[in-house]
Amino acid sequence: MNLLKLLKRRLVSEGKNEVFYRLMSKNRLSVPLYWGGHDPSWTNLKKSLDDDNPDFALISAWAILEDEVKMRYPNKIKKVGNQRNKSICDITSKSLEHTPKEKRELLDAMKKRNKVAHGQITLVNWSDVNCLLHSAYLLNDLE
C-alpha cells in the first residue's frame, strides 16, 4: 500500500479528511470544505480537486455561493436573465464589505464561471475558485 493511501485511511478514520484533501490539492483552497449542506456541490468540487480541474470546480463553487446568497437574501437577488449573477456578486460584496479589489476579483470569477458554463474558452485558476468559496464561507458565518 502506498504512503498516500495509508495517510488518507488514517486521516479519514480520525475525522481529518479535510487535512488529506488540503495536502492532496497542494493547498489550493484556503477555506474549509463540506460546510453548509451543499452536498452535491462538495462532491463535484472534490472530484475537481482530484482531477485538477479548476474549470469544473468554478461551477461548483459558484453554486455554493449562489445558494448561500439565496438563503440569506432571497428577495434581493434579481431574476435569471436580469443580471442575476452580477446581483449575487453585488449582494455578497456589500454584505461582506469587500474592498474594491475583492469585489473585482469576485466579478472576474463570475465572468469566468459564465464563460465556462457556456462553453467559451477562458483561463480559470484555483484562485478564482478560492475567491468564490471564501466569500460563500464568510456569508455562511454571518449572523
19 belongs to a structural domain = no
pTM: 0.79
Domain assignment present for residue 9? The answer is: no
CB 92 within 8 A of CB 73: no
pLDDT tens column, 5-22: 565 566 555 555 555 555
Cβ atoms 112, 122 nearer than 8 A: yes
Give domain status of residue 72, yes or no.
yes
Q: How confident is the model at residue 83 (pLDDT cuts 50, 70, 90)?
A: confident
Whether 88 is covered by a domain: the verdict is: yes
For 94-135, the pLDDT digits (tens) are 999 999 999 999 999 999 999 999 999 999 999 999 999 999
pLDDT (0 to 100) of residue 17: 55
Q: Is residue 41 part of a domain?
A: yes
Domains identified in the chain, total number: 1
**Model confidence band, residue 74 (pLDDT cutoffs 50, 70, 90):** confident
The answer to whether residue 106 is domain-embedded is yes
Angle between helices 17-24 and 3-13 (to 10 degrees): 150
Structural domain span for residue 58: 34-141
- Return contacts of 11-19, CB within 8 angstroms, 24+ apart: none
Q: Is 21 inside a domain boundary?
A: no
Query: Distance (Å, rounded) from C-alpha 128 to C-alpha 55?
Result: 9
Residue 8: inside a domain, yes or no? Answer: no
